[in-house]
Amino acid sequence: MPEAQATGWDLGGAHLKAAQVDGSGRFLTALQLPCRLWLGMEEFGRALAEARGRLRPSRRHAVTMTGELADLFADRAEGVARLSKAMAEAFADAELRVYAGDRGFVAAAEVGDSWRAVASANWHASARLVARHHQSALFIDVGSTTTDIVPLRDGVVAASGYTDDERLMSEELVYSGVTRTPVMAIAATVPFDGRRQRLMAEHFATMADVHRLTGELPEDADQLPTADGRGKSATDSARRLARMLGRDLDSAPPAAWRRLALHLAERQRQTLEAAVDCILSRGVVDDAGPFVGAGVGRFLVRDLAARAGRRYADFADAIEGDLPTKEWAARCAPAAAVARLAVDDW
């Protein structure tokens, strides 16, 4: 198998993502593997070994991360250091650098001084790549756990925040995704059977169950165990949603559980729409600027664009590769971005 010019890695707290490009920047492969980092570095080692077995050999490796937030680590500085060290040891015979935002790539040995720039900088890499193709746009990456909303202006990233806390305050980071987010984080009360009912504040169901019942979730999108450890059929998802209401599945017809899912999906859209409206109100993005969607939940970005009367553009449209690879590269946008930036800007 021919060698890849560069491999990009996004080390998350729940998934490990990788993408590879050739010397022209064409994507050769992209993949995502479950990696429950909170269970320990052994989980990371297992996922990394599996990924390496599925990837082409490569001499250049570019790393970005959000996994430093996992409560496995005492703080983010420790997380950045340990993840960077693990990657440097795994690729000791290769050239490896870590993405540090506007500073570009730094050597793994330098992350101690740059950890604040390295921590959770994956969104910046994706937005930086998209800005090369869209002078003015709103880049929205809806993943399994979070949503990044990043304004682009004059071909550069125009975010008002950089760190997680700054981005949460500016609404450029919304902790809402299409698979892992607990339903209890979306709504406290819902309409059901003609009345308004409170939901249980328990991790009985996730948004994967919701979007599975609405029919919008890609079949291969939910890679982690369900809230109850049971199956991933529509019936299983409805059973978990019923438990959120203190009910059993057979207490209402299937149509009732689907109506509930549609309501919860709409509540999530409204949350994201409110954040989008806040960011657009700054006037940074031109009125004609499109919404550029990435992530496994970019079906939500298409809806947000339609609601706002904006043109939709897909992250996959701006990259080269076969259709399956482009799809996975769009889902793993930060890994794809650092791979491409490693070819262009190393």
Q: What is the reported pLDDT for 102?
A: 94
Q: Is residue 283 part of a domain?
A: no
| Residue 345 scores a pLDDT above 90 | no
Rounded mean pLDDT, 265-288: 98
Please check whether residue 159 lies inside any domain of the structure.
no
pLDDT higher than 80, residue 286: yes
Q: Which residue, of 269, 296, 311, is where some domain finishes?
A: 269
Instruction: Tokens 């080269």: give the residue.
Output: 320
Considering the domain boundaries, does residue 133 fall inside one?
no
Q: pLDDT tens digits, residue range 133-143?
A: 999 999 999 99
Token pair of 65 as six digits: 């991360």
User: For 89-133, what is each residue's pLDDT tens digit?
Assistant: 999 999 999 999 999 999 999 999 999 999 999 999 999 999 999
Q: What is the pLDDT of residues 68-96, one digit of tens each?
A: 999 999 999 999 999 999 999 999 999 99
63 domain residue, yes or no: yes
132 located within any domain: no
CA distance 326 to 303: 21
Residue 1 pLDDT more than 80?
no
Q: Is 46 exposed, middle or buried (0-12, 13-18, 19+ CB in 10 A)?
A: middle
Output the pLDDT for position 189: 98
Tens-place pLDDT, residues 312-340: 999 999 999 999 999 999 999 999 999 99
Residue among 81, 158, 74 at smallest CA distance from 113: 81
Q: Has residue 338 been placed in a domain?
A: yes
Pairing of strands 95-99, 15-21: unpaired
CB 329: neighbour CB atoms within 10 A? 30
* Listed residue (58, 62, 34) closest to 47, CA to CA: 34
Domain annotation covers residue 103: yes
- For the segment 260-265, the average pLDDT, to the nearest whole number, is 98
**Could you identify the residue written with the tokens 């992250």?**
315
CB of 143 within 8 A of CB of 297?
Answer: yes
Q: Is the pLDDT of residue 2 over 90?
A: no
Q: Which residues have CB under 8 Å from 259's CB, separation 6+?
A: none
Q: Which residue blocks in 91-121 are alpha helix, DSSP H?
A: 111-118
Residues 31 and 115 occupy one common structural domain = yes
**pLDDT number for residue 265:** 98
For position 70, which CATH number holds?
Answer: 3.30.420.40
Percentage of the chain with pLDDT > 70? 100
Is the pLDDT confidence value at 34 over 80?
Answer: yes
Residue 337 in any domain: the answer is: yes
Confidence (pLDDT) at 147: 98
Query: Which CATH number do you get for residue 211?
Result: 3.30.420.190
For residue 265, give Cα distances in angstroms to 84, 95, 262, 277.
37, 43, 5, 18
Same domain, 332 and 233: no
Question: Number of folded domains in the chain?
Answer: 2
Domain with 32 in it: 6-124+320-345
Query: Rounded distance, CA 16 to CA 49, Å?
Result: 11
Average pLDDT of the chain, as a whole number? 97
**15 Cβ neighbours under 8 A, 6+ residues apart:** 32, 33, 34, 35, 144, 223
Mean per-residue pLDDT, 221-236: 97
pLDDT attached to residue 240:
98
